[in-house]
C-alpha cells in the first residue's frame, strides 16, 4: 500500500502531464479550477487517469477541489 507522499508524487505527475503544467505548480493545496485553470473536462480526464493508475473509482459527486482532496480520497479508497 502506498503512503500519502507516494500517492501525491504519482498524482502530481498525472495532473502536470494532463494539464501541461510544470510539475512544481501542482502542490497539495493547489485548487484545480482556481490555481490550474482546469475546466470540468480537464478534471474528468484527470479523474479517469487517476482511476486507472490507482485502480479506484471516483464518483463525480465527490467534493474534490484540491490535489489534497484527491490524495486523501485515494488513500482511503486504496
Instruction: Determine what percent of the chain is predicted with pLDDT higher than 70.
Output: 96
Please indicate whether residue 39 is annotated as part of the active site: yes
Domain count, the chain: 1
Query: Which residues constitute the domain of residue 22?
Result: 4-77
- pLDDT tens-digit readout, 31-44: 999 999 999 899 99
The helix or strand, by DSSP H or E, that contains position 24, with its residue range, turns out to be none
Using the predicted structure, report yes or no on whether residue 14 has a pLDDT greater than 70.
yes
Mean pLDDT of 5-12: 97
Catalytic choice (17, 37, 39, 52): 39
Alpha helices in the chain (DSSP H): 4-19, 32-36, 40-54, 67-77
What does the pLDDT read at residue 63?
85
Quick check: 66 pLDDT over 80? Answer: yes
In this prediction, residue 59 has a pLDDT band, given cuts at 50, 70 and 90, of confident
CATH number at residue 44: 1.10.1200.10
CA–CA dist 35, 54 (Å, integer): 24
Amino acid at each position: 500500500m502506498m503512503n500519502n507522499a507516494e500517492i501525491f508524487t504519482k498524482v502530481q505527475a498525472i495532473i502536470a502531464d494532463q494539464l501541461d503544467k510544470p510539475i512544481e505548480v501542482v502542490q497539495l493545496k493547489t485548487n484545480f479550477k482556481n490555481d490550474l485553470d482546469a475546466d470540468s473536462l480537464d478534471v474528468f480526464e484527470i479523474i479517469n487517469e487517476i482511476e486507472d493508475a490507482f485502480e479506484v473509482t471516483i464518483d463525480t459527486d465527490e467534493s474534490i477541489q484540491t490535489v489534497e482532496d484527491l490524495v486523501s480520497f485515494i488513500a482511503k479508497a486504496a
